[in-house]
């Protein structure tokens, strides 16, 4: 063991505690600053500055673009000589037997000259069930990543490439055993929408559990996460209403907003100043052309934005909500189960009363290892959605095995 390993181990020696110790980790002090740090609790600290967009250093920008320029120049140079001295390697880019090529030379250039060099990093073959760990099939290449051959060996790796944040989607264990018993009792599916004969006691149990977990009066579940947004938003707003959406909201929110027929305005990602300016403009000007007041104003944000990893500034948004009187819709697809001391999402993370958020949406795909989604809100809103939401009226209900996985 090297020196660095010994020094790191000695510096954390005081943190080693018995397995069943009831130590309160929130009282542990940072040895360098001497201040209390919430090192093991997903909770916002008082000194947290919030989300700040970081600009990359110019050195990284310059070297990245320079590397692309070099690869592109060498790629065109190789193509110039290759098309003249090894034309058979470019046969797939030419017309054959009267058929046009599937890809043009320009479109195929990136794959041929840039991606091919690092092709071993992509499309890694796996075997078994991707749970907490994943088993890779090792492979090798003899033609510079054009083709690969399996070696017959496997490698077990930590799975950071898929959902199942909390490890519930395992091939064996209590969840798998419960699903097996459920299938024996209820079968594979209900074969009907919830509004007809597709409801069961399992659905009612899940909805009751979700509402109690989130601290909302009522909840309803939908069999598809994407459809939870795309079918709920059109049931909440329509023509004459306004949707204010973060520019980095998920495509399901964008799709549902367009289906609703409501007027849509977008504000800069997590920029509260831009949001307030937009709110003032929209409220003061009203609807386009007629300038009538909006029937409803619905602000749609995400708890954790899936591509950026940033967390919405919920306290500031609630401050605007009290000031400008709009409805708030929070998508917690990635934050539920992952944020907060009790894993109850962005409200738990900020210590905010869930009653201040009108509608909480989430999915069971990420943290719960299942599929589908939920809407948690007041009883009146849920009753309205049950008879107007297309996912409740026309789509298949959540299967018994998924309902069991969630509970």
| Residue range 174-406, CATH number | 3.40.640.10
Per-residue model confidence (pLDDT) at position 88: 87
Per-residue model confidence (pLDDT) at position 379: 95
Residue 219 confidence (pLDDT) above 70: yes
Q: Which residue has the higher pLDDT, 2 or 50?
A: 50
Closest residue by Cα to residue 139 from 151, 127, 128, 122: 151
Of 27-36, 59-68, 266-275, 369-378, least confident by mean pLDDT is 27-36
User: Is the CB of residue 385 less than 8 Å from the CB of residue 221?
Assistant: no
Token pair of 247 as six digits: 């520019």
Per-residue model confidence (pLDDT) at position 49: 65
11-54 tens-digit pLDDT: 333 333 333 334 343 444 444 444 544 455 677 777 676 667 77
Per 3-state DSSP, what percentage of the chain is helix, strand, and coil (rounded to 5)? 40, 15, 45
Per-residue model confidence (pLDDT) at position 385: 94
Average pLDDT over residues 313-337: 94
Can you say whether residue 36 is alpha, beta or left, with left for phi > 0 and alpha for psi between -120 and 50 degrees? beta
Average pLDDT over residues 270-286: 94
Residue 146 confidence (pLDDT) above 90: no
Per-residue model confidence (pLDDT) at position 195: 85
β-bridge partners, 140: 149
Closest residue by Cα to residue 127 from 168, 101, 156: 156
Per-residue model confidence (pLDDT) at position 11: 35
Residue 310 confidence (pLDDT) above 70: yes
The pLDDT confidence band at residue 7, using thresholds 50, 70 and 90, is very low
Domain definitions of the chain by residue range: 58-113, 126-158, 174-406
**Residue 241: what are its φ and ψ, rounded to 5°?**
-105, 165
Per-residue model confidence (pLDDT) at position 3: 42
Of 53-57, 190-194, 349-353, least confident by mean pLDDT is 53-57
**Residue 247: what are its φ and ψ, rounded to 5°?**
-65, -20
Per-residue model confidence (pLDDT) at position 50: 67
Measure the CA–CA gap between 35 and 384, rounded to whole angstroms. 49
Note the pTM of the prediction, 2 decimals. 0.77
Q: Which residue has the higher pLDDT, 399 or 377?
A: 377
What is the pLDDT of the chain when averaged over all its residues?
A: 85
Under DSSP, is residue 139 helix (H, G, I), strand (E, B) or coil?
Answer: strand
Residue 102 confidence (pLDDT) above 50: yes
Share above pLDDT 70 across residues of the chain, in percent, rounded to a whole number: 89
Residue 9 confidence (pLDDT) above 60: no
């Amino acid at each position: 063991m090297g020196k660095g390993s010994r020094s790191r181990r000695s510096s954390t020696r005081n943190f080693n505690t018995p397995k069943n110790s009831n130590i309160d980790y929130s009282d542990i002090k940072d040895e360098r600053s001497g201040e209390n740090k919430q090192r093991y609790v997903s909770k916002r600290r008082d000194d947290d500055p919030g989300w700040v967009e970081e600009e990359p250093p110019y050195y990284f920008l310059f070297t990245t673009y320079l590397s692309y320029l070099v690869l592109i120049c060498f790629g065109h140079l190789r193509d110039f000589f290759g098309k003249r001295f090894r034309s058979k390697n470019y046969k797939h880019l030419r017309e054959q037997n009267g058929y046009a090529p599937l890809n043009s030379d320009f479109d195929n250039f990136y794959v041929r000259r840039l991606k091919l060099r690092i092709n071993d990093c992509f499309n890694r073959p796996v075997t078994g069930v991707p749970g907490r760990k994943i088993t890779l099939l090792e492979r090798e290449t003899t033609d510079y990543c054009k083709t690969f051959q399996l070696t017959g060996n496997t490698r077990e790796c930590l799975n950071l490439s898929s959902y199942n944040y909390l490890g519930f989607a395992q091939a064996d264990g209590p969840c798998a055993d419960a699903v097996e018993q459920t299938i024996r009792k209820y079968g594979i599916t209900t074969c009907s929408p919830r509004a007809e004969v597709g409801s069961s006691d399992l659905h009612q149990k899940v909805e009751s559990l979700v509402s109690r977990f989130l601290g909302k009066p009522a909840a309803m579940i939908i069999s598809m996460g994407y459809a939870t947004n795309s079918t709920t938003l059109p049931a909440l707003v329509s023509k004459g209403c306004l949707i204010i959406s973060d520019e980095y909201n998920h495509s399901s929110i964008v799709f549902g907003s367009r289906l609703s027929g409501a007027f849509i305005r977008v504000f800069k990602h997590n920029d509260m100043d831009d949001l307030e300016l937009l709110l003032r403009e929209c409220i003061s000007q009203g609807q386009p052309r007629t300038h009538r007041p909006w029937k409803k104003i619905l602000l749609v944000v995400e708890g954790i934005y899936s591509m950026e990893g940033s967390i919405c500034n919920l306290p500031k948004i609630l401050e605007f909500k009290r000031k400008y009187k709009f409805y708030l819709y929070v998508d917690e697809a990635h934050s539920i189960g992952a944020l907060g001391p009790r894993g109850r999402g962005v409200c738990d993370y900020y210590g905010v009363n869930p009653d201040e958020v009108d509608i909480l949406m989430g999915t069971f795909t990420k943290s719960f290892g299942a599929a589908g989604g939920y809407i948690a809100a007041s009883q009146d809103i849920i009753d309205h959605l049950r008879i107007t939401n297309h996912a409740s009226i026309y789509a298949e209900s959540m299967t018994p095995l998924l309902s069991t996985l969630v509970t």
